[in-house]
Amino acid sequence: MISAIIPARGGSKSIPRKNLVPVYGHPLIAYSIALCKAAKNIDRVFVSTEDKEIARIAKEYGAEVPFLRPEELSTDTASDVGFLNHFFDNYNFEEIALMRPTTPMRNENFVDKVIQIYFNNKENLTGLRTMHEINESPYKLFKINDNFCESFFGDIELSNMPRQSFPKTYKPDGHIDIVKRETTRKGNTFGNKIFAVKGEKIVDIDSKEDLDVLLCTTKVVPIEWTEYLKRS
């Protein structure tokens, strides 16, 4: 078993009060709380926030909010390491599942599977992330310097090679990440030996357009979540 933490700042530039935006009758953050309560391998769910309203609503949906996060750990430029170490200062856990609230429609069976994979391999890794394959290769991308294209890899001719000649590319998706206390204490979120678990692409809410996609493609809340999407 593992405990989970949901980081939920009050500020958001892309969607104001994003973590509380209504999605099918419930605030966005409620879905991550419900998933954690539905997963068999998660025993406790915490929310880390500096925002009193988010804290109140998170508690109503069954999460633990034992304290408010300091304001300096909740700015736009604050790193994950900061709030994670703040949590580990108060709870002596070896690891915790990081469940970002912007990924509301997870699959609890996949989450349980990933947690078991972590415990089967925890001695050989510094962190774990889930990710999915993407078609866009970094070798095909450019940065622009004084109006001229530059390759991230030094050789601009690489961009003209067939995509099939490059290694497969994967993007972290926030389905579930697992961080280790010993790694964050060294100033890193996941360290340099990150175990990758491949899965299907999942909607991540980072903009109004992402929210529109979610509302257009996800019509029904999983029936097994119904009992967990209740406010006390």
pLDDT of residue 218: 61
The pLDDT profile of the chain, 232 residues, written as one tens digit per residue, is 999 999 998 877 777 888 998 888 899 999 999 999 999 999 999 999 999 999 999 999 999 999 999 888 777 777 899 999 999 999 999 999 999 999 888 889 999 999 999 999 999 999 999 999 998 888 889 999 999 999 998 888 888 888 888 899 999 998 999 999 999 999 999 999 999 999 988 888 777 777 776 777 665 556 556 677 877 6
pLDDT of residue 210: 72
Distances (CA, A) of 214 to 30, 63, 177: 15, 24, 21
Domains defined along the chain, listed by start: 2-130+171-228 (3.90.550.10)
Report long-range pairs for 229-232 (Cβ below 8 Å, ≥24 apart): 229/26, 229/30, 229/31, 229/34, 229/61, 230/61, 231/57, 231/60, 231/61, 232/59, 232/60, 232/61, 232/62
Strand partners, 127: 179, 194
pTM to 2 decimal places: 0.90
